Amino acid sequence: MTRSWIGLGANQGDPPATLSAALDHLDRAEEVSVSFVSPAWLTPAWGVTDQPDFLNAVAGLDTTLDARGLLALLLDVERRLGRRRDGRRWGPRVIDLDLLVHGETVLDEEELVVPHPHLAERAFVLVPLNALAPDLVVPGMGRVDELLAALDDSEIRSVRAAAPLEFQPVR
């Protein structure tokens, strides 16, 4: 089993229900068990800022899948929940699932970079991840609590507490 951490985000449709549905899909997969789920956080859109705020969360998974297999599962869950990739980056979306950390795996491939290359720059990832695993060492980057402390205070303050997600583990 490998402990993996994923980011979840949505700003279209019913984001709380969609994030909960994504967690349910993942937890029902034979090779995955959702072990930890952060509360949800409201965050300003990143990249393309002229859009609604995102609801973001982080989840810890235990999985027998390698990083490529887990990415394939994440993309499948996105498709099932209505995500259509149109080539635009950072635009509005019904669901966004990002593989942040996969155990000690370090990959730099065209289709997959692990740990996520922008993890250390994004308060909307680090704030919920810090709530779950502040002492997690992100390979090649450092401890989550130290990465969060290195961010600008205004970026950290832009992440606003929302509510716990409605999710009941299958197992």
- Is residue 72 classed exposed, middle or buried when 0-12, 13-18 and 19+ CB atoms within 10 A define those classes? middle
- Say whether 96 is catalytic: yes
- Say whether 93 is catalytic: yes
Q: Which residue, chain included where needed, has tokens 């019904």?
A: 94
If DSSP states are collapsed to H, E and C, what string results for 160-171? Answer: EECCCCCCCCCC
- What is d(CA 131, CA 39) in angstroms, rounded to the nearest whole number? 9
Q: Closest by alpha carbon to 126, among 103, 107, 100?
A: 100
Q: Which candidate in 62, 68, 83, 153 is catalytic?
A: 83
Q: Name the amino acid, one letter, at 74.
A: L
Q: Which candidate in 76, 84, 85, 98 is catalytic?
A: 98
Q: Quick check: 21 and 81 in contact, CB under 8 A?
A: yes
- Say whether 153 is catalytic: no
Q: Which candidate in 28, 76, 86, 96 is catalytic?
A: 96
Q: Which are the catalytic amino acids?
A: 83, 93, 96, 98
